[in-house]
Chains A and B, each alone.
Chain A
Amino acid sequence: METIELKPATETHNEPTITISGSEAVLNAMIAEGVQTIFGYPGGAIMPIYDALYDYSNRLNHILVRHEQGGIHAAQGFARSSGKTGVVFATSGPGATNLVTGLADAMIDSTPVVCITGQVFAHLLGTDAFQETDVINITTPVTKWNYQVTDASEIPAVLAKAFYIARSGRPGPVLIDITKNAQIQKFEYNGYTPCNHIRSYRPKPVIRKKFVEEAAKLINAAERPFVIFGQGVILGKAEKEFKTFIEKAGIPAAWTILGLSALPTDHPLNTGMLGMHGNYGPNVLTNECDVLIAVGMRFDDRVTGRLDKYAKQAKVIHLDIDPSEIDKNVKTTVPVWGDCKETLPLLTALLEQKMYPQWLQRFRDCTKKEEEEVILEELNPSGEVLTMGEVINTLNELTKGDAIIVTDVGQHQMVACRYAKFNKSKSNVTSGGLGTMGFALPAAIGAKFGAPEREVIAIIGDGGFQMTIQELGTIMQSNVNVKIIILNNRFLGMVRQWQQLFNERRYSFVNIESPDFVAVAKGYRIEGKMVSERKELKSSLQEMLTHPGAYLLEVMVGKENNVFPMVPQGCGVSEIRLK
């Protein structure tokens, strides 16, 4: 991967007026915004931009993906591992519609992505021209902002706006649709001015001192306070502020799936994962705490279970940058609007230094119970077949928690998030809100470009892997050094688990056959191996990690293992089942 000298985005480029094409303006904007890597796929309506890209290839690294969905997931992975904005190029029509799943994913998981799509000539709009779709209207519900450019002179300002909107406030995906005539058109270019203000857009709500004080008062008076945190801590780059906050207040903390890695796994106040397949303690004790402090999380239904049985006894303090999240699902006692990078220090300053040894002991007792009933057997199984948990646990021993773990969706995702160790933030990349199977392989590619110095390991099920398997081609062509672990249980495991528990084992279409994954990888000139014996597991993982370049390790795991604990749908969090 080539690194390129960056011009910081804050700099204004007042170059003398020159005449350039819309396409060149697009690429100049990329360079001015510090973009190094673009994931994309060419096509008819975006050809002028690709033609210009030919001359920019020493300054912009374009990664040719195998499907536009792979492109946007890669951009998401890039954004998540780097904290920067991911960029995708796609053509009109099918190219653009293939982005929709990734846009929806980025929207619900607040990932900053800028998509540039080609569009037919402006005079053909609405004529059902070849590869014409109404991309703006199709993508409206799944973008933070979108805009169609029909005149090249709009491009610098629109792209500046796009990058600003994507990364500021609560981040999200932005799509800019550019008609072919605007890409070709020459115009008077006055340089690129980054955007830092839009009058109709308030990315950061004003912090109310009154609420910060009320929140501090509640926390100081609490006997059993409990902090739950989400990706807001990572997106706000407030990991340090968050750690200082819980350490001073001495409050146990638990994370949502997207908050994972914001606080190191081994931190003494880290009590584990919330929600449907989260840890026993955080779920049960949510309904026993007296003050619940939510930081940068949105009370997703997978976290809360039944809302009328969720933390009803507690006073709720909600810190969020997005005012529409306040009171959306859970009624807040004290709302603390604002960027948590700013609100957390304000709050911390007002807190008394405290510890809650008895309360913390309750969490430890719960952990012990969960270990006895679930974790020990999962990590050190008595049976012959491998479990997903022991694969993750063995991986922990080898990576020491320093790797970026990218997961797909399903049982393996829950197991990986439950058991993987993390020392550093931005190390967990997964599709949380949308639950997009097929996310992990392309996202891992992007994550590697976003953090080339780090080890990137994709953990994927046999089902999800086959949804975006073609991205092995991207790994091959661009020499992406990602490690792929397929946890193969020969089932669509999560749906099978539900069918077993709630549909009387009526296994309806969850039996999935797979090709010889190792042979497929070999076909893409990617080294690989299959392992099904315990005694070979550690050495195989070691071999994978030491292999220079991409590697695929298929691990055969128990066919009908279930993920526990589990909060069954329609139950309260304290009704969590250990078996």
Chain B
Amino acid sequence: MKQEFTVTVYTENQVGLLNRIAIIFSRRKINIESLNTSPSEIEGIHRFTIVINETEDVVRKLVRQIEKQVDVLKAYFNTNDQIVWQELALYKVPTDEIAEKVKVERLLREHGARAVVIRKDYTIFETSGHREETDNLISVLEPFGLIEFVRSARVAIIKESAGFHLKLREFEQAEPGEETLENEYLNKGKDVFVM
């Protein structure tokens, strides 16, 4: 069953990496619903947040392909109940309409919005939230001559995540950390039968 997944990718800051990640999706004809790149909790390490609508099986394979890229440190995928996420939206409306026909205050309160710019000719509102919430404000503002609308990509925090600091420290060591292979059999060469 297809559902919304949020893929979080920790990467080095390399020119061309966005393309390398994007083509993993486009090669398989999978549409990216939203993509955001930003700094992460660690200086110098970037964080991609990618939203797609796919089955879990497909997403798992995609994430492995992403993780395989040399400049990718780690990739995670999560369903919506495993993350806290927001999208930011901006709305531009004619000021006179808004001022005359709607009680701006009520509008702002009900939609958790705030006015970013108020000019004689237009007003820009901003709100953040889930898709339905930002969509709601569109339908409210549309009758009053919505001039422009734009919504950002999703940014998400993984509820269970303890951050990337520990993982990075492990990655910076030439030898893998505590999960290291337990090599006890390798020392028992004579037990290995040779014809």
Contacts and interface: CB of A to CB of B under 8 A. Distances in A.
Interface of A: 136-137, 140-141, 144-148, 165, 196-202, 206-209, 212, 243-244, 247-248, 322-324, 326-328, 338, 342, 345-346, 348-350, 353
B133 to A, nearest CB: 36
10 contacts: A141-B23, A146-B16, A200-B12, A200-B71, A200-B72, A206-B179, A206-B180, A248-B195, A322-B68, A345-B185
Interface in B36-92: 60-61, 64-65, 67-68, 70-73
B160 interface: no
B73 A346 contact: no
Given A140-B19, A196-B174, A323 B64 contact: yes
Interface residues of B, number: 37
A322 B64 CA distance: 9
Interface in B159-195: 168, 171-172, 174, 176, 179-183, 185-186, 188-189, 191-195
A160 to B, nearest CB: 14
B40 to A, nearest CB: 13
Nearest to B189: A345
A328 B179 contact: no
Given A207-B181, A209-B182, 20 more contacts: A140-B16, A140-B19, A140-B20, A145-B70, A148-B16, A165-B70, A198-B70, A208-B179, A243-B195, A247-B193, A247-B194, A323-B68, A327-B60, A327-B61, A342-B183, A345-B192, A346-B183, A348-B192, A349-B191, A350-B185
B119 interface: no
B8 interface: no
B181 A342 contact: yes
Contacts of B179: 206, 208
A324 to B, nearest CB: 4
Contacts of B68: 322-324
A346 B23 contact: no
Contacts, number: 90
Given A322-B68, A324-B61, A199 B20 contact: no
Contacts of A350: 185
A285 to B, nearest CB: 22
Contacts of A140: 16, 19-20, 23
A281 B194 CA distance: 26
A253 B70 CA distance: 33
Given A199-B168, A327-B61, A349-B188, A136 B16 contact: yes
A208 B176 CA distance: 12
B29 interface: no
A140 B181 CA distance: 33
B131 to A, nearest CB: 31
Contacts of B109: none
Given A199-B168, A200-B70, A324-B67, A244 B181 contact: no
Contacts of B15: 148
A140 B16 CA distance: 8
A95 B44 CA distance: 35
Contact of B185 (A324, A349, A353): A349
Nearest to B71: A200
A141 B21 CA distance: 10
The 9 A-B residue pairs with the shortest CB-CB distance, nearest first, are: A207-B181, A324-B64, A248-B193, A349-B185, A247-B195, A197-B174, A145-B70, A200-B73, A209-B182
B106 interface: no
A555 B180 CA distance: 55
B134 interface: no
A349 B182 CA distance: 14
B65 A324 contact: yes
B103 interface: no
Contacts of B193: 244, 247-248, 348, 353
Contacts of B176: 202, 206
A388 B172 CA distance: 54
Contacts of B191: 349
Contacts of A348: 192-193
Contacts of A207: 181
B27 interface: yes
Contacts of A199: 73, 168, 171-172
B39 to A, nearest CB: 16
A253 to B, nearest CB: 13
A147 B65 CA distance: 19
B6 interface: no
A138 to B, nearest CB: 11
A346 B176 CA distance: 18
